[in-house]
């Protein structure tokens, strides 16, 4: 009995395998490039937008299900994590509560005076938060990776009245802005995204600037374009400015808390101050948000 | 009922995409987070070969982009090449090496980040190189290297390694 190898044909298993391999990867790379091209060029109105909308609707229940399953574990992790800081936090909060009590009394007086003067002047103001907005609560069901985009996907969309450019907040402060809307989902660009910015003011000094992400950092913000003559100090609170000029207005209503100033620096060569802001919102730990839908349609 | 390996691989991939998109926070460890989807695609490439790795990468990337409402095709392109590279490594020099998953995870994590950075820059996204290639990549690389072997064992328990029938094994018995 002898054993001999079967002679290979012209295009043997090795050659055929290589050809098949190249064909497969070539077709998939080509398909990816076509998808990128169509998706990038056509934006939210192109043929792929409908497909993406339908697919995201189909995938939504799975995402919501996974989110619900993961929530108790996430809560347990946060509970354990918060225990470590509880002692130091308690003392700090007691101190803050004493200061805030004083400020609430002063603010109450100022509010009454403000209302009275507004009535006297028949003052016309821009949209005010929260009176002129309907908050739409939404669960966070998607967290794209952090290297290239700072965004979340929430489980509410155009069917809930949400539109592109609607501001998004939590109880802590400003989160970001809606950049893409599907019928039942919306993509929210976080304030920590490189392309995000919001006009803001220092509550104490009324110094104006633009809050954006600090380059090369994780979640630190900077208040940019603050004039050198404005005396901004660490501990100052930064809120949205909510400006209006002619027919144009800020996308954010005024008065939404953004963060607290942690450091202020300036050099002789810079035109503006370098103000670092620690955001109130923990962008890495968002479970639910409020999308602020303007009651009056935006111009 | 015996479920084919491809179906089990697809189910595993679907689950991992959901976990990656919904559960894994972007800054879990020192500014980075494990890229579980990339690790699973690499493992599938190592176990099932370059063609299957590329196909799994494409499908996983597409699902991820659909779930996160990102530009379609970007993740697919990166993960297609990642799965293909891992598969080619397994088909050539990496066959039988115990640390192949760790080595491929380390190399492909860096290459995938560089390629994704290039793609995003090409698409006009405002991406800061230091943030993407240092602040996020370094911790992600470390976590991916640590998780490479456990993830590979998990994937191998669901999707068995493909049997390679080389020319030497195709014999004819003559009596």
A125-149 pLDDT tens trace: 555 566 678 888 888 888 776 677 7
pLDDT at A213: 83
What is the distance, to the nearest Å, from the Cα of residue A117 to the centroid of all Cα atoms in its chain? 36
User: Domain range spanning residue B153?
Assistant: 5-160
The 10s digit of each residue's pLDDT in B155-171 is 999 888 877 655 555 55
SS3 state at A224 = strand
Residue A169 and residue A292 in contact, taking contact as beta carbons nearer than 8 Å: yes
pLDDT at A7: 56
Q: Is residue B14 part of a domain?
A: yes
Among A179, A213, A207, A183, CA closest to A195: A213
Nearest chain B residue to A15, by CA: B167
Domain CATH number, residue B48: 1.10.1760.20
Q: Model's pTM, two decimal places? A: 0.76
How close is the nearest chain B Cα to the Cα of A299, in Å? Answer: 26
pLDDT at A141: 85
Q: What's the average model confidence in pLDDT over A111-137?
A: 72
- Which range (A12-21, A254-263, B117-126) has the least confidence? A12-21
Q: How many domains is chain B partitioned into structurally?
A: 1
Chain B residues touching residue A148 (CB < 8 angstroms): 116-117, 120, 125, 127, 132
Q: Is residue B169 part of a domain?
A: no
- Per-residue confidence band for A227, with pLDDT thresholds at 50, 70 and 90: confident
Q: Is residue B67 part of a domain?
A: yes
How close is the nearest chain A Cα to the Cα of B158, in Å? Answer: 20
CA dihedral (B88, B89, B93, B95) in degrees, to 10, reads -90
Among A149, A217, A182, CA closest to B74: A149
- Kindly determine whether residue B81 and residue A150, on different chains, have CB atoms separated by under 8 Å: no
- Per-residue confidence band for A107, with pLDDT thresholds at 50, 70 and 90: confident
Put simply, the chain A residues between 93 and 132 with a CB less than 8 A from any chain B CB are none
Residue A181 and residue A154 in contact, taking contact as beta carbons nearer than 8 Å: no
Bond into A130 cis (ω within 30):
yes
Chain B residues touching residue A180 (CB < 8 angstroms): 69
Chain B residues touching residue A78 (CB < 8 angstroms): none
Average pLDDT, chain B: 85
Q: Is residue B171 part of a domain?
A: no
Q: How far apart are CA A237 and CA B113, in angstroms?
A: 37
Residue A131 and residue A170 in contact, taking contact as beta carbons nearer than 8 Å: no
- Which range (A162-171, B118-127, B150-159) has the least confidence? B118-127
Q: Is residue B175 part of a domain?
A: no
pLDDT at A11: 47
CA dihedral (A274, A278, A279, A283) in degrees, to 10, reads 110
Distances (CA, A) of B97 to A71, B33, B39, B44, B158: 39, 27, 17, 15, 20
pLDDT at B169: 53
SS3 state at A74 = helix
Put simply, the chain A residues between 5 and 24 with a CB less than 8 A from any chain B CB are 5-6, 8, 12-14, 20-21, 24
Q: Is residue B172 part of a domain?
A: no
For residue A205, pLDDT beyond 80: yes
More confident residue, B161 or A27: A27
ipTM over 0.90: no
- Kindly determine whether residue B55 and residue A217, on different chains, have CB atoms separated by under 8 Å: no
Q: How far apart are CA A155 and CA A68, in angstroms?
A: 12
SS3 state at A180 = strand
The 10s digit of each residue's pLDDT in B6-27 is 888 899 999 999 988 888 766 6
H or E element that contains B72: none
Q: Is residue B173 part of a domain?
A: no
Residue B114 and residue B133 in contact, taking contact as beta carbons nearer than 8 Å: yes
Q: What's the average model confidence in pLDDT over A82-102?
A: 82
pLDDT at B80: 95
Q: Is residue B168 part of a domain?
A: no
Residue B174: count of CB within 10 angstroms of its CB: 8
pLDDT at A142: 83
């Amino acid at each position: 009995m002898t054993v001999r190898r079967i002679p290979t044909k012209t295009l043997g298993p090795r050659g055929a395998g290589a050809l098949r391999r190249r064909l497969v990867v070539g077709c998939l790379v080509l398909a990816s490039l076509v998808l990128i091209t169509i998706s990038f060029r056509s934006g939210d109105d192109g043929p792929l937008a409908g497909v993406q909308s339908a697919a995201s609707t189909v995938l939504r229940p799975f995402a919501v299900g996974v989110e619900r399953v993961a929530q108790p574990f996430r809560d347990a992790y946060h509970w354990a994590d918060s225990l470590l800081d509880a002692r130091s936090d308690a003392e700090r909060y007691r101190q803050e509560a004493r200061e805030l009590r004083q400020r609430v009394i002063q603010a109450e007086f100022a509010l009454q005076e403000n209302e009275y003067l507004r009535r006297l002047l028949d003052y016309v103001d821009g949209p005010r938060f929260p009176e002129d907005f309907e908050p739409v609560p939404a669960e966070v069901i998607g967290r794209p990776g952090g290297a290239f985009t700072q965004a979340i996907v929430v489980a509410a969309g155009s069917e809930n009245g949400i539109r592109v450019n609607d501001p998004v907040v939590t109880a802590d402060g400003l989160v970001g802005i809606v950049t893409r809307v599907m019928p039942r989902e919306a993509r929210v660009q976080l304030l920590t995204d490189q392309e995000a910015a919001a006009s803001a003011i220092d509550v104490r000094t009324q110094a104006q600037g633009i809050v954006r992400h600090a380059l090369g950092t994780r979640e630190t913000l900077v208040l940019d374009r603050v004039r050198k003559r404005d005396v901004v100090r660490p501990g100052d609170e930064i809120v949205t400015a909510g400006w209006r000029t002619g027919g144009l207005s800020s996308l954010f209503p005024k008065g939404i808390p953004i963060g607290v100033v942690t450091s202020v620096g300036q050099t002789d060569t810079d035109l503006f101050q370098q103000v670092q802001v620690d955001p109130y919102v923990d962008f890495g730990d968002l479970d639910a948000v409020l999308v602020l839908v303007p009651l009056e349609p935006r111009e | 009922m015996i479920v084919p390996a491809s179906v089990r691989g697809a189910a595993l991939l679907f689950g991992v995409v959901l976990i990656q998109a919904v559960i894994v926070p972007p800054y879990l460890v020192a500014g980075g987070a494990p890229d579980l989807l990339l690790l699973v695609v690499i493992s599938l490439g190592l176990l099932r070969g370059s063609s299957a790795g590329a196909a799994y990468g494409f499908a996983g990337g597409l699902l991820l982009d659909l779930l996160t409402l990102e530009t379609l095709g970007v993740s697919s392109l990166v993960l297609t090449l990642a799965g293909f590279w891992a598969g080619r490594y397994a088909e050539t020099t990496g066959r039988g090496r115990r640390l192949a998953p760790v080595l491929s995870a380390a190399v492909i994590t860096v290459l995938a980040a560089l390629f994704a950075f290039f793609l995003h820059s090409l698409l006009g996204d405002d991406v800061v190189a230091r943030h993407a290639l240092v602040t996020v990549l370094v911790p992600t690389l470390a976590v991916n290297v640590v998780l490479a072997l456990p993830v590979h064992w998990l994937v191998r328990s669901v999707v068995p390694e493909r049997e390679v029938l080389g020319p030497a094994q195709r014999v004819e018995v003559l009596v």
